[in-house]
Structure 1
Amino acid sequence: MNLFVFGLGYSVRQFIDLYGGRFTEICGTVRSPEKARAMQAEGLQAYVFDGASYDPAILDRIARADALLVSIPPVGETDPVLAHFSHAITSAPRLRWIGYLSTVGVYGNADGNWVDETTPPNPASARSRQRIAAERAWLALGGSASFSVQIFRLAGIYGPGRNALEKVADGSAKRIVKPGQVFNRIHAADIAQVLMASIERPSRNAVYNVADDEPGPPQDVIAFAADLLGREPPPEVPFEEADQTPMARAFYADNKRVRNTRIKTELGVTLRYPTYREGLRALLESGDGIMENPDTRFEA
Structure 2
Amino acid sequence: MTNTLLSIGHGYSAQALADRLLPQGWQIIGTTRSPEKAAKLAAGGVTPLIWPGAPLPLGQATHLLSSVAPRAGDPVLDAIGTQLADARHLKWVGYLSTVGVYGDQRGGWVDEDTPPNAVSDRAIARVKAEAAWQEICARAGIRLHIFRLAGIYGPGRGPFEKLRSGRAQRIIKPNQYFSRIHYADIGQALERAITSDIGTRIFNLCDDHPAPPQDVLEHAAKLLGLEPPPEISFEQAELSPMARSFYADSKRVRNTRIKRELGLQLHYPDYQSGLASILKAEG
SS of structure 1 residue aligned to 2:129: helix
**Counterpart check, 1:277 vs 2:272:** yes
Given candidates 4, 18, 33, the residue that maps to 2:20 is: 18
Query: Comparing 237-246 with 215-224, which one deviates more in the overlay?
Result: 237-246
Q: Deviations over 1:101-159 (max 9, x none)?
A: 00000000001100111110010100100000000011111113242011000000000
Q: Deviations over 1:62-117 (max 9, x none)?
A: 212121110001122x1111111123333335311000000000000001100111
SS of structure 1 residue aligned to 2:167: coil
* Superposition map of 1:142-153 within 5 A: 142-153=137-148
**Counterpart check, 1:65 vs 2:61:** yes
Structure 1 equivalent of residue 103 of structure 2 = 108
* Maintained 8 Å contact 2:110/2:254: yes
**Counterpart check, 1:55 vs 2:50:** no
Query: Comparing 165-174 with 35-44, which one deviates more in the overlay?
Result: 35-44
**Counterpart check, 1:206 vs 2:168:** no
Separation in 2 of the partners of 1:32 and 1:241?
Answer: 36
* Maintained 8 Å contact 1:7/1:29: yes
Structure 2 equivalent of residue 9 of structure 1 = 11
Say if 1:282 and 1:244 are closer, same or farther in 2 by CA, change over 3 A: same
Given candidates 93, 97, 101, the residue that maps to 1:98 is: 93
Aligned residue identity for 1:115 = V
Structure 2 equivalent of residue 35 of structure 1 = 37
Separation in 1 of the partners of 2:207 and 2:213?
Answer: 14
* Maintained 8 Å contact 1:3/1:69: yes
Structure 2 unpaired stretches of 5+? none
Given candidates 246, 252, 256, the residue that maps to 2:251 is: 256
Separation in 1 of the partners of 2:203 and 2:270?
Answer: 18
Given candidates 159, 166, 174, the residue that maps to 2:169 is: 174
Separation in 2 of the partners of 1:258 and 1:212?
Answer: 8
Query: How much has 1:18 moved relative to structure 2?
Result: 3.2
* Superposition map of 1:105-144 within 5 A: 105-144=100-139
* Maintained 8 Å contact 1:177/1:219: yes
Separation in 1 of the partners of 2:269 and 2:22?
Answer: 23
Structure 1 unpaired stretches of 5+? 291-300
* Maintained 8 Å contact 1:2/1:23: no
SS of structure 2 residue aligned to 1:109: coil
Aligned residue identity for 1:71 = S
Percent of pairs identical after alignment? 49
Query: Comparing 234-243 with 268-277, which one deviates more in the overlay?
Result: 234-243
Separation in 2 of the partners of 1:250 and 1:268?
Answer: 34
